[in-house]
Amino acid sequence: MTVTDVCRTAAEAWSAVKGLTTARKNALLLDMAAAIEDNRAEIILANDADVAAARANGVSATLVDRLTLTERRMTGLVSAIRTIADLPDPVGQVVEGWTRPNGLLIERVREPIGVVAVIYEARPNVTAEVAALCLKSGNCAVLRGSSMAMATNKAVMAALDSAIARHDAVPAGVVRLITDPSREAAKELMRAKEFVDLLVPRGGPELIESVERHATVPTVIDGAGNCHVYIDHSADPDMATAVTVNAKTSRPSVCNAMETLLVHEELARDWLPGVLDELASAGVEIRGDATVREVWPKAVAAREEDWGTEYLDLVLAVRVVPDVGAAIAHIDRWGTSNAEAIVARDIDVARRFAREVDSGSVFVNTSTRYSDGGEFGYGVEIGVSTQKLHIRGPIGLTALTTVKNVVWGTGQTRVV
Amino acid sequence: MTVTDVCRTAAEAWSAVKGLTTARKNALLLDMAAAIEDNRAEIILANDADVAAARANGVSATLVDRLTLTERRMTGLVSAIRTIADLPDPVGQVVEGWTRPNGLLIERVREPIGVVAVIYEARPNVTAEVAALCLKSGNCAVLRGSSMAMATNKAVMAALDSAIARHDAVPAGVVRLITDPSREAAKELMRAKEFVDLLVPRGGPELIESVERHATVPTVIDGAGNCHVYIDHSADPDMATAVTVNAKTSRPSVCNAMETLLVHEELARDWLPGVLDELASAGVEIRGDATVREVWPKAVAAREEDWGTEYLDLVLAVRVVPDVGAAIAHIDRWGTSNAEAIVARDIDVARRFAREVDSGSVFVNTSTRYSDGGEFGYGVEIGVSTQKLHIRGPIGLTALTTVKNVVWGTGQTRVV
């Protein structure tokens, strides 16, 4: 089957999926969770093969870690599917409605989108989670995982297929895995305009650039996270330290980790050296501007490109700024519209930052690490949107729907 | 100035525009309306030149009509700007908000998008209306009208500029007209990804295809309107006739006019001939399937391509179908996701059609002609979206905003 054929199959299956009741969808999801549990041994075995191959190919320890399905992760995956079954169904929700002077009742109603394609990297839990999120929202899913996780993904798909096969109302094409690992196959997916209603690419800059260049299908881009934290001189110093350390060190490899710290100049001498000591003792390399190096000489000199780098590692760029306006201007210039935070006690400064920073999510007196579907209360997320249209920030189940207008009349006709 | 330079100027102007208060924006809009009134004579003179040139070039009467700014249309244009000043400002609206168990308050807030570009055809009223809609929603506008209307558009822009110049807080670049009429200039606009946050193309299939092929900027597509009306056998016959005639004949040249009539087979002998007589007497050419030609022999034979044609003219394709399911399947196959209607008294049939038809707007017991921002109560519309993401159906002021997450904390830090 070509990629286009896979997408066509999904599109043909959609007419059966979009009308499923919530009860039926939830029953399917619970069966999917049970099937994963029942096939736990086979899935782990397949994953062992993927991990062994990755190791043999000299893949980095970080990537091998992401690829590995431990027992704990398997349990997490199964419980994620059950969480999705428990989430409220967004389909059929009347978002708003009103009656016009001529008596027409206009309702704006959430509906499934159609065929949702997701391109993702090594984490094999994504396969089952995205399948469950798409089905819950009445969509079909076309999944393109990493070639590195192919054996695992096939084993997961086999388990999901066995659950789907037990539901007569649900055709086999509702979730489809693309098994061709070539870049050409990915491009074909990006261009399957006739059959794909939404593509969510989750990955590094190379994938995003490829999507921007080749995609003709509608996309919600899960792009880079060059996240900023600005510490205002009005900040509570202990809170400033706690948020800074949390944003950088609690999980440096994820997109909501801080990459640049902006500090008000009044804090450069008294507060900054202490927090840099604490970060350094946690293993963070500091790259600072001239003022930073003056007050904390162990810092490496930051170069222009440091402001634009998403390290995803224990490295931090630090800049001293004269005021909140300069911090906002720095973020305007270098930010990736993912997540930015401020620590401030001055209400005007905090509200100005919240209003003027043009980013998916702005955090006041808390850490950028909360830019996450789970932390927002969405249950399980598809990713984090760095674009402005359709959805910004964490992408929950609701973002997998579209809003249709339904207009109820009693025979009204229009004059002009 | 290259097109990219124009877009850069608009992007630079945005930081001043996005923070304007509603009062300031409304004052600017009222000054813009006054400036159009003050320069009425110059604008009409420029329009006379455009119209004369169009006539000399053998442009069709319909297009010349669209191009012509009559006194009545000038008055309509000025009052449209005042209507926009009166509309509620979507910027700053808190769409939803909730508090998490850890005390984080999450607010989802409407914000301007940035630089909005619009490509449109001959109607010169669009220039001022789109400028007003963009400014009201805190955006900058880059306008690319038809070369045929260039003199008119320049005269309108001069009037708008004179109003903008009277507002110190508003930089000159907030509304920009692209004066290079070449296709290359349009393509450059479609690719000005660094500066354009949203492109709305309004035009025929050629423009839409060009956007789908070349655009790298985010788009909301105002595409074709191959609109359907299905008459169920449960319909009130008089209502069915009134809606059918209205949907086809009240304004056949617009995108919400009906192009295909689908009729339940039980109505083929009794109801259909009468309505086709009425349509024919209004000058409508009927292209029917075999059953239609049997019951109404004057019909031309419909060919496969008739089901896919947006006539925008007094031509109608007519098909007899066995039931509502067949009508929905026909719309699935041939519809353009713009507007579809059903006339039915059977509540199950009506609700099934409303639920299953995958279109921007579905009308029950009323005419597709109501697919219109004004009729929805949006005041003035930017167009009608035929895509699924961001906005479906009539595009009002609200669709020119994006929803940002603002998270208020008290020092929370994340554990994992």
Each residue of A177-191: pLDDT tens digit? 999 989 999 999 999
Are A45 and A126 in the same domain? yes
* Cβ separation B407–A216 shorter than 8 A: no
Q: What does the pLDDT read at residue B124?
A: 84
Domain that holds residue A274: 227-376
Strand runs (DSSP E) across B113-248, as ranges?
115-119, 140-144, 175-177, 198-201, 227-231
Are A399 and A336 in the same domain? no
Q: What does the pLDDT read at residue A229?
A: 98
As a whole-number percent, the residues of chain A with pLDDT over 70 amount to 100
Establish if A330 belongs to a structural domain: yes
Q: What does the pLDDT read at residue B112?
A: 97
Confidence of residue A63 (pLDDT cuts 50, 70, 90): confident
d(CA B41, CA A381): 57
Using CA atoms of B249, B251, B253, B255 in order, give the dihedral in degrees to the nearest 10: -100
* Cβ-based neighbours of A294, under 8 Å, separated by 6 or more: none
Regarding predicted confidence, which is higher, B63 or A321?
A: A321
Lowest mean pLDDT among B110-114, B189-193, B200-204, B248-252: B200-204
SS3 call for A114? coil
Q: What does the pLDDT read at residue B122?
A: 77
Provide the 8-state DSSP code for A19: T
Strand runs (DSSP E) across A249-365, as ranges?
258-264, 285-288, 300-301, 315-321, 339-343, 361-364
* CATH code of B129's domain: 3.40.605.10
A327-339: pLDDT as tens digits: 999 999 999 999 9
Chain A residues with CB under 8 Å of B364 CB are 406-409
Residue range B362-373: average pLDDT? 97
A194-252: pLDDT as tens digits: 999 999 998 888 899 999 888 999 999 998 999 999 999 999 999 999 999 999 999 99
Residue range B276-287: average pLDDT? 98
- B393/chain A closest Cα distance in angstroms: 7
Residue range B384-399: average pLDDT? 96
d(CA A180, CA A145): 10
Chain A residues with CB under 8 Å of B388 CB are 113-114, 197-198, 218, 402
- A308/chain B closest Cα distance in angstroms: 15
- Count of Cβ atoms closer than 10 Å to residue A328 Cβ: 24
Establish if A413 belongs to a structural domain: no
Are B232 and B364 in the same domain? yes
The mean of the pLDDT values for chain A is: 96
Confidence of residue A31 (pLDDT cuts 50, 70, 90): very high
d(CA B118, CA B164): 20
Chain A residues with CB under 8 Å of B114 CB are 358, 388
Are A97 and A200 in the same domain? yes
Confidence of residue A122 (pLDDT cuts 50, 70, 90): confident
Nearest to A389 by CA among B129, B381, B387, B371: B387
Q: What does the pLDDT read at residue B155?
A: 97
A363-407: pLDDT as tens digits: 999 999 999 999 999 988 899 999 999 999 999 999 999 999 999
Are B235 and B215 in the same domain? no
- If one counts the domains in chain B, the total is 2
Q: What does the pLDDT read at residue B395?
A: 95
Res B416 pLDDT > 80: no
Calculate ∠ Cα B269-B275-B277, nearest 5°: 95
* Cβ-based neighbours of A152, under 8 Å, separated by 6 or more: A43, A46, A47, A50, A67, A69, A124, A127
SS3 call for B243? helix
- Count of Cβ atoms closer than 10 Å to residue B55 Cβ: 12
A287-305: pLDDT as tens digits: 999 999 999 999 999 999 9
- Of all residues in chain A, the one with the smallest CA distance to B377 is A100
B210-255: pLDDT as tens digits: 998 899 999 999 989 999 999 999 999 999 999 999 999 999 989 9
Establish if B272 belongs to a structural domain: yes
Are A257 and A274 in the same domain? yes
d(CA A289, CA B370): 59
SS3 call for B258? strand
Res B63 pLDDT > 90: no
The enclosing H or E element of B273 equals helix B272-281
Res B347 pLDDT > 80: yes
Residue range B12-26: average pLDDT? 95
d(CA B239, CA A254): 59
Are A351 and A394 in the same domain? no
Establish if A276 belongs to a structural domain: yes
Regarding predicted confidence, which is higher, B206 or B175?
A: B175
Establish if A11 belongs to a structural domain: yes
Are A331 and A389 in the same domain? no
Q: What does the pLDDT read at residue B196?
A: 97
Res A416 pLDDT > 80: no
Nearest to B299 by CA among B286, B283, B317, B282: B286
Res A2 pLDDT > 90: yes
| CB contact at 8 A, A282 and A343 | no
Using CA atoms of B327, B328, B330, B335 in order, give the dihedral in degrees to the nearest 10: 120
Q: What does the pLDDT read at residue A135?
A: 97
Q: Where are the alpha helices (DSSP H) in A39-107?
A: 40-56, 61-67, 71-86
Chain A residues with CB under 8 Å of B407 CB are 361-364, 366, 370
Are A232 and A189 in the same domain? no
- A158/chain B closest Cα distance in angstroms: 30
The burial class, CB within 10 Å (0-12 / 13-18 / 19+), for B67 is buried
- Count of Cβ atoms closer than 10 Å to residue B187 Cβ: 16
d(CA A378, CA A372): 9
| CB contact at 8 A, B245 and B282 | yes
d(CA A263, CA A18): 50
Provide the 8-state DSSP code for A89: P
Query: How far is CA A254 from each of CA A203, A219, A318, B311, rounded to the nearest angstrom?
Result: 11, 21, 19, 52
* Cβ separation B413–A363 shorter than 8 A: no
* Cβ-based neighbours of B125, under 8 Å, separated by 6 or more: B69, B73, B76, B77, B80
* CATH code of A235's domain: 3.40.309.10
Establish if B415 belongs to a structural domain: no
Sole residue written with tokens 């353009």: B336
Establish if B413 belongs to a structural domain: no
Q: What does the pLDDT read at residue A204?
A: 83
- Output b/e per residue, B158-180; b: 16+ Cβ within 10 A: ebbbbbbeebeebbebbbbbbbb
Are B200 and B231 in the same domain? no
Q: Are strands B105-112 and B115-119 parallel, antiparallel or unpaired?
A: unpaired
Helix axes B125-136, B150-165, angle to 10 degrees: 30
Are B21 and B75 in the same domain? yes
- Of all residues in chain A, the one with the smallest CA distance to B213 is A216
Sole residue written with tokens 């005007």: A348
Are A328 and A392 in the same domain? no
d(CA B82, CA B85): 5
Sole residue written with tokens 């400014």: B135
Residue range B113-130: average pLDDT? 92
As a whole-number percent, the residues of chain A with pLDDT over 90 amount to 91
Residue range B61-77: average pLDDT? 91
Chain A residues with CB under 8 Å of B193 CB are 212
- Count of Cβ atoms closer than 10 Å to residue A337 Cβ: 23
Confidence of residue B204 (pLDDT cuts 50, 70, 90): confident
* Cβ separation B113–A388 shorter than 8 A: yes
* Cβ separation A366–B411 shorter than 8 A: yes
* Cβ separation B405–A362 shorter than 8 A: yes
Res A162 pLDDT > 90: yes
* Cβ separation B218–A403 shorter than 8 A: no
| CB contact at 8 A, A43 and A155 | yes
Phi first, then psi: give them for residue B178, nearest 5 degrees: -85, 120
Strand runs (DSSP E) across B220-323, as ranges?
227-231, 258-264, 285-288, 300-301, 315-321
Q: What does the pLDDT read at residue A124?
A: 84
Confidence of residue A123 (pLDDT cuts 50, 70, 90): confident
Establish if A415 belongs to a structural domain: no
Calculate ∠ Cα A381-A382-A387, nearest 5°: 110
The enclosing H or E element of B168 equals none
Residue range B380-394: average pLDDT? 94
Phi first, then psi: give them for residue A149, nearest 5 degrees: -105, 20
d(CA B280, CA A241): 78
